[in-house]
Amino acid sequence: MTFSANMGFEFIDPNAEQHATQANEVFVDIDAAFSQIDIAMSDANYTLSTSTTPQEWKYGMLKLTGTLTGGRDVIVPTNKKLYVVSNGTGFAVTLKTSAGTGIAVAAGASAFLRCDGTNVIAAMTAGAGVGDVVGPASATDGHFSQFDGATGKLLKGGIALDIDGTLTANSDTRVASQKAVKTYVDSAITGGATDVMLFKGVIDCSANPNYPAADAGNLYKISVAGKIGGASGIDVEAGDTVYCLTDSTAAGTQAAVGANWNIAQANITASGDTLVSEGALINSATSKTTPVDADYLGLMDSAASNILKKLSWANLKATLKTYFDTLYGYLGIPQNSQSAAYTTVLADAGKHILHPSADTTARTITIDSNANVAYPVGTAITFVNQNAAGVMTIAITTDTMRLAGAGTTGSRTLAANGIATALKLATTEWIISGSGLT
């Protein structure tokens, strides 16, 4: 008998008497090549059968199911052929030859693969118009799609198109249309809920002009000194700015509409004012020996373009305390009282965990693992079981805690009136010692 090179179809022997039988066997193999076989995997690697009729490897589509506890392999022969794989197990499954490499198909995913005679590889290489981009089962009409993950191959329901010109949703899951953005900006500029400064031009004040008609936020630069608001208006210098405070303000004199305008001087000393430096003001101020929490200090905010801000004495003390605590730790041993089972947190470093007298029930206090709470090496936590309190068990999760002296590991029991301290020696190792500790 002779067979085709890749799919192993048996050639019909012209000298054989059972031509129909041979043909039917070939038809069965051809049918399998275009069909699906369901393979229920046990929790182990699986080799496609070469002894069944038709042989399992000859199927074009493999649907994998079963309960696995980790990634597994499906072994195929080295025959050159295509495979469509659907992974319905809970873990990644790799399709490969026994001696070659393969392709991992993620849990819940499908893949189009081929055996090249040595290894199992992707059947197609992504290129223009090619790729296994998969979308969601359903979508919202009019929404944008988004990539799901970093592979560039999965899509999910995405951001909504927002046509609301007030942008009231204030959402990270909506994208405003061009018209909505223009409506919002136009409203803000022309007197919306939040007026913005809008430069309108320059004013020559040499002839003492009236204020122009304007809306809130309209700003003008003075180009030539004089008066603004008529002959009885306010003196202004070149470089000063005037801006309107009230929407729909009519043109007029200082007496008529001056209250709706504000003037910002650029040449403060030119009008006879005396500019006093901040340093001179501080130097001439009355001294205060003991500041209180409600007092304020001046501060240059480097994170906000170096503008001047105030800092309360209370906030200054709190900031300095937090900083120095990281350098020197606590001056005492702060208390954390627990009357129930408790797992330590990062804030417990340097504290003592108290099991109070009022709780006569035995309790377990657990030092959390470095994987969950990365205490710095050198961290100390003290445990105190007060008089008449129930027995305290000091446990640890996945790290190691050794008893000082004996070197034995595991949980420790602390009797009433007992005190013990655990000290972190390495990333996952603690040592504990104390009185009343067994």
- For the chain, the domains span 19-122, 137-189, 198-271, 296-328, 335-437
* pLDDT score of 128: 39
* pLDDT score of 1: 56
* pLDDT score of 17: 56
* pLDDT score of 415: 97
* pLDDT score of 274: 52
CATH class of 335-437: mainly beta
pTM of the predicted protein model: 0.33
Question: Tens of pLDDT along the chain (438 residues)?
Answer: 565 555 555 556 666 555 556 667 777 778 888 899 999 999 999 999 988 888 899 899 999 999 999 999 999 999 999 999 999 999 999 999 999 999 999 999 999 999 999 999 998 765 434 456 677 767 777 777 777 777 777 777 778 888 888 888 888 888 888 998 988 887 776 655 556 788 999 999 999 999 999 988 899 999 999 999 999 999 999 999 999 999 899 999 999 999 999 999 887 654 444 555 666 777 778 889 999 999 999 888 888 877 888 999 999 999 998 888 777 666 789 999 999 999 999 999 999 999 999 999 999 999 999 999 999 999 999 999 999 999 999 999 999 999 999 999 999 999 999 999 999 999 999 999 999 999
Q: Nearest Cα to 231, choosing from 249, 250, 206, 248?
A: 206
* pLDDT score of 15: 61
| Side chain identity at residue 6, one-letter code | N
